[in-house]
Chain A
Amino acid sequence: MLSIKDLHAEVDGKTILKGLSLEINAGEVHAIMGPNGSGKSTLGHVLSGRPGYEITGGSVEFMGKDIFEMETEERAHLGLFLAFQYPVEIPGVSNMEFLKAAVDAVRESRDEEAFDTVSFMRKAREACTAVDLDQAFLKRGVNEGFSGGEKKRNELMQMMLLEPKLCILDETDSGLDIDALQVVAKGVNTMRAEDRAFLLVTHYQRLLDYIEPDYVHVLADGRIVKSGDKSLALELEEKGYGWLEVEVA
């Protein structure tokens, strides 16, 4: 589903990703862990096509297509979803307007019929309930004045409504209390499916107590330095990241 080969990327002339390779197949859950500044968030931004991130080498195929040939919205249409670490506030545009616009655009790209207003409202309300967010948030500006936890739940709600093929969660667990973390985990676990994959980018092992990954990768200095199963996460929790950097060196 996602095939990253020797990816190099830089921001403001500074090289962040230095030869990252990763294969993700449908149905799998991958976790990427790593210390601050290792390039975890950069990976998500590069895959989403964020302006300012320059690809200097390597390739990424998503659903068999060269991702760098596609606009950001085309990647979304094909099923790529990035849950932001810091979701953007958009005052003046209601969450409902935003969600309907997004879902309509994605469904249209798949030649699926648009939901009528009433059934979409119902779906949106259900999604609210699923992420334990009051329905009043549908009428508020997108993420406007939301707490950190509310923003993350809002990301999850978008993910549920858009039904993507590949869900990248960029430190969705950061800053969440244990209740919110469980809501996020429950949402992800409910969405796990044979034709859907997850890439969890996280700083802490804690999230993986609730979402069991198939693979765990360690990112250090712009590339993956070690891969393993879920036991790797526990090892990292115990020993920290220091031993790996020594090992690599």
Chain B
Amino acid sequence: MTDLLTPQLNIETAVPDWLQARRLTGRAAWDNGSMPTRKTEDWKYTSLYPLQQDFTAAPVSDASAAELGLDLPELSGSRLVFVNGHWREDLSTLVADAAIEVVRFSEANAEQSALIGEHLGTTVPGTKHLFAMLNDAALSDGVFLRVRANSKAQHPVQLVWHNSRAESTFISNQRLLVLAETHSEASLVEHFSGRNNAFTNGVSELVLGPGAKLNHSRLHLESPEALHIGGLHVRLDRDATLESFHLALGGKLKRIDIVINHEGTGAHCQLDGIYLLRGNEHIDYHTCIEHAVPHCTTDETFRGIIGDKARAVFNGRIHIHPDAQKTHAQLSNKNLLTSATAEVNTKPELEIYADDVQCAHGATIAQLDDAMLHYLRTRGIPEDEALVLLSYGFINALVETQALDALRDYLKPLLADYFGATSESASEQGSNLTRHIGA
């Protein structure tokens, strides 16, 4: 098996002592674990073959934002930028906000270190998520975001993990821990980008205390060669509310696990996601919502557009434990296939062990609607532009639900460009096809 850990251990960074224990447990779990194969149910449609190569340690880059091709939403708050997993102070901006503490693990003070030590890894118990164990084993630094109790953040926090071009294929480790304390409120954007075939192994943990509210977005905008295996792991305490929005472009191998645990009554989670694939790209979203207690709600919608010979996997599980009475949960997954060779494997799974719940789930796979296409054409809109408008419209409804205006303003032209470039036409015509989006 490819050694995914050793290259990461070769990096000479000072690791705080209190992280060492977690590294060692992670390492033991990783060493004892066996790599999933196509016979592992959770990995049935996703091959790890692209990981069969020699990886190097992530190189430090001092390239400028322009050289890196950084293109980020203009949000008002703090922005922390990591390039190849390494902190780049010069590209980061810290904006003072009384409600927020945002700090790297390596810079955490005693109180923060204690909080990190108390919560880190609690959203990923056991050894089920093997790549989270790899992340633990290679842990050298990470970001800790604390939203203070009974306070509301003034600005959204933006975390950027960008991989630069490099001569060799490297591994970068990404870790985030968010602690939203009782009745706090904040917004957070995770941004993954990059121009190469690096492998990112990420783990983001969100711990929401009683009554806490978090608006979270996670953007995967890496290049089509990118390799990413990562997870978002969440714990929701009583009456906590999480709005979590996901957008991913396809990669050579992308696997994202989203695990949300309703642990306190009255918690609510709205989970929306979009995936867009073309070429030979692959993406695999596995979501798992655990309803362990009564009176919680989940509203989950994922939509994907898959073209060319790309393949998407969506597995959405909602697990309602015996005690989780009065649960309201709905899951919808709609897929649009824009070519005859595109493929999607979708599997919504409801597992219900309580008897007084309201649950619904559904998945559809379709081509573009002929009636819609005809309607647009009767108004004089050429067929190729109509196809772009309809593809865009298919996912735009989810973008529209996003609370952050600046993020919507960033995503709309980006998506328009994406669909313009998807068509077989030349790029000049591509912009012609998308010029009415956002009119």
Contacts and interface: CB of A to CB of B under 8 A. Distances in A.
Contacts of B380: 73, 76-77, 102, 105-106, 109, 162
A141 B393 contact: yes
B372 A88 contact: yes
Nearest to A103: B380
A139 to B, nearest CB: 10
A91 B393 contact: yes
A236 to B, nearest CB: 29
A87 B375 contact: yes
Given A73-B381, A102-B380, A105-B382, A90 B374 contact: no
Given A51-B370, A91-B397, A92-B393, A82 B439 contact: no
Contacts of B437: 97
A54 interface: no
Contact of B383 (A73, A81, A88, A162): A73
B300 to A, nearest CB: 18
Interface in A90-119: 90-94, 96-98, 100-102, 104-106, 109, 117
B375 A73 contact: no
B24 interface: no
A101 B438 CA distance: 11
Contact of B390 (A50, A51, A75, A93): A93
Q: What DSSP secondary structure best describes chain B's contact surface? A: helix
Given A51-B370, A101-B389, A101-B439, A92 B396 contact: yes
A88 B439 contact: no
A76 B370 contact: no
B39 to A, nearest CB: 39
B52 interface: no
A229 interface: no
B375 A88 contact: yes
Contacts of A42: none
Contacts of A76: 377-380
Interface string B366-409: 00001110111111111101000110111111001000000000
Interface in B293-308: none
Nearest to B433: A101
Q: Interface extent on B, as a size class?
A: 20 to 34
Q: What DSSP secondary structure best describes chain A's contact surface? A: helix
Contact of B376 (A49, A77, A82, A98): A98
A71 B383 contact: yes
Nearest to A84: B375
Contacts of A202: none
A158 interface: yes
A72 interface: yes
A48 interface: yes
A97 B439 contact: yes
B436 interface: yes
Contacts of B382: 73, 105
Contact of A72 (B378, B390, B397): B378
A97 B381 CA distance: 11
Given A93-B392, A117-B439, A82 B378 contact: yes
A86 to B, nearest CB: 9
Nearest to A90: B372
Residue with the highest number of chain B CB atoms closer than 10 Å, among A98, A101, A105? A101
B375 A90 contact: yes
A87 B370 CA distance: 13
Interface in B122-168: none
Contacts of A162: 379-380
Given A93-B390, A97-B436, A97-B438, 11 more contacts: A48-B374, A76-B380, A90-B376, A93-B389, A93-B392, A94-B439, A97-B437, A98-B381, A98-B436, A100-B439, A101-B389
28 contacts: A49-B378, A51-B374, A72-B377, A72-B378, A73-B381, A76-B380, A84-B375, A88-B371, A88-B375, A90-B375, A90-B389, A91-B397, A92-B392, A92-B394, A92-B396, A93-B393, A93-B396, A94-B439, A97-B437, A98-B379, A98-B389, A101-B439, A102-B379, A102-B380, A105-B380, A105-B382, A117-B439, A158-B379
10 closest Cβ contacts across the A-B interface?
A92-B393, A76-B380, A102-B379, A93-B393, A101-B436, A92-B396, A88-B375, A72-B377, A100-B439, A106-B380
